[in-house]
């Protein structure tokens, strides 16, 4: 069995299974009855199946699309007196025996396998460069004991918070996690909004997203040519961010309060420039998905908010402003909340259009 044909048949099997599982991923994202947490884990299982299922073709007694092994032909036995003599030239015309020649691939399948290998090498080089940049960021980060003190009750053990020159808040480190916050963001953002940002990164650490993200990027580097696998990963990243948003919003008076912090941090991120390929997970790793995350928080707030009785006293309601934190556990009137929701959607649309896509 030709090794080139085996690799191509494996790639075809992987592509076909990814197409089927991509349809499942799209269906899961449209299933509103699932919470963000369950949706993220189900999409992670779909991604793992898309990567691992084609390898099952190498198991014994497995129905496979790989080429059947071809029976080896009998070796040719050269009889005495046949073939080239010692004093005859055995090299092809125009080639010298003291030089090494590179043979050009003679089939299109060989060219495809060679391109796969070169692309894999390039992708792993990019991952290595992202790992080096992340280590450098962590090495130059300044400790932030004040921020650690404000979250001492929820900060995971052996997790540190530092300020650095990163272009967005992020969680780094597999064995010794750390949360890195841009210095400009830590200085300009309101304390309540900054705590919400840190709670989002803490949710990434508690969910084990650092390990899963590293495995996902390794798999994407291996199958860099598969657009359906990347589409599944894009939906998985969105579901993961929405799950961390839901966890961080639990400590707020209402999900729209956390949405206010998300918008404030995203607006500050616009001034920090283009994001780089860090080997980390972060609150605004995909800025183009901000609109969907805001809509998810609004839907969650609408589902958890008790329905208010209609007002009969004819009192004039307070005009709506921006999203705000309701002190003392008080909620904004339903009319104010609806107008605030509309403003949040408009702001999310503007940010999503102005954010650079990765």
Model confidence at 28: pLDDT above 90 = no
pLDDT tens, position by position, 76-102: 666 666 655 555 545 455 556 666 555
Residue in 65, 47, 66 with CA at minimum distance from that of residue 4:
66
Residue in 181, 96, 108, 168 with CA at minimum distance from that of residue 142:
181
How many CB atoms neighbour CB 158 within 10 A?
10
Residues 222, 51: Cα–Cα separation, whole Å:
10
**Rounded average pLDDT over 107-114:** 83
pLDDT tens, position by position, 270-303: 665 545 545 556 555 555 577 778 777 777 666 6
Model confidence at 253: pLDDT above 50 = yes
Q: Please, which pLDDT band fits residue 133 given cuts at 50, 70 and 90? A: confident
Model confidence at 141: pLDDT above 80 = yes
**For position 260, what pLDDT does the model report?**
84
**For position 281, what pLDDT does the model report?**
61
**Rounded average pLDDT over 23-28:** 88
More confident residue, 256 or 40: 40
pLDDT tens, position by position, 61-76: 655 555 555 556 666 6
Cα pseudo-dihedral 115, 19, 61, 8, rounded to 10: -20
**For position 333, what pLDDT does the model report?**
45
Residues 249, 228: Cα–Cα separation, whole Å:
32
User: Where is average pLDDT lowest: 2-11, 210-219, 325-334?
Assistant: 325-334
Share of the chain above pLDDT 90, in %: 24
**For position 96, what pLDDT does the model report?**
60
**For position 330, what pLDDT does the model report?**
38
More confident residue, 194 or 315: 194
Sheet holding 142-143, edge to edge: 142-143, 160-164, 178-182, 170-172, 281-282
């Amino acid at each position: 069995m030709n090794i080139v044909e085996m690799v191509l048949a494996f790639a075809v099997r992987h592509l076909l299974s990814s197409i089927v599982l991509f349809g499942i991923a799209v269906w899961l994202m449209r299933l509103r009855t699932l919470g963000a947490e369950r949706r993220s884990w189900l999409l992670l299982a779909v991604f793992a199946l898309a990567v691992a299922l084609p390898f099952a073709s190498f198991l014994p007694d497995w129905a496979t699309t790989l080429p059947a092994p071809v029976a080896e032909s009998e070796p040719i036995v050269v009889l005495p007196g046949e073939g080239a003599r010692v004093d005859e030239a055995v090299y092809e015309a125009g080639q010298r025996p003291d030089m090494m020649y590179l043979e050009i691939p003679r089939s299109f399948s060989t060219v495809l396998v060679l391109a796969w290998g070169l692309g894999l090498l390039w992708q792993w080089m990019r991952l290595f460069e992202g790992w080096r940049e992340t280590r450098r960021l962590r090495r130059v980060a300044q400790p932030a004991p004040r921020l650690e003190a404000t979250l001492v009750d929820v900060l995971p053990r052996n997790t540190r918070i530092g300020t650095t020159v990163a272009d967005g808040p992020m969680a780094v480190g597999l064995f010794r996690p750390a949360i890195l916050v841009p210095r400009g963001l830590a200085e300009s953002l309101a304390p309540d909004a900054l705590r919400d940002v840190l709670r989002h990164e803490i949710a990434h650490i508690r969910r084990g997203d650092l390990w899963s993200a590293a495995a996902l990027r390794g798999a994407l580097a291996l199958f860099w040519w598969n657009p359906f696998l990347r589409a599944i990963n894009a939906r998985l990243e969105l579901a993961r961010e929405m799950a961390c948003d839901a966890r961080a919003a639990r400590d707020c008076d209402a999900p729209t309060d956390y949405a206010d912090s998300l918008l404030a941090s995203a607006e500050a991120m616009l001034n920090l420039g283009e994001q780089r390929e860090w080997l980390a997970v972060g609150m605004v790793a995909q800025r183009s998905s901000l609109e969907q995350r805001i809509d998810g928080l609004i839907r969650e707030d609408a589902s958890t908010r008790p329905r208010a009785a209609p007002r009969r006293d004819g009192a004039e309601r307070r005009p709506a402003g921006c999203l705000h934190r309701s002190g003392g556990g008080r909620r904004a009137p339903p009319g104010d909340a609806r107008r605030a929701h509309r403003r949040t959607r408009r702001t999310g649309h503007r940010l999503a259009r102005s954010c650079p896509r990765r």
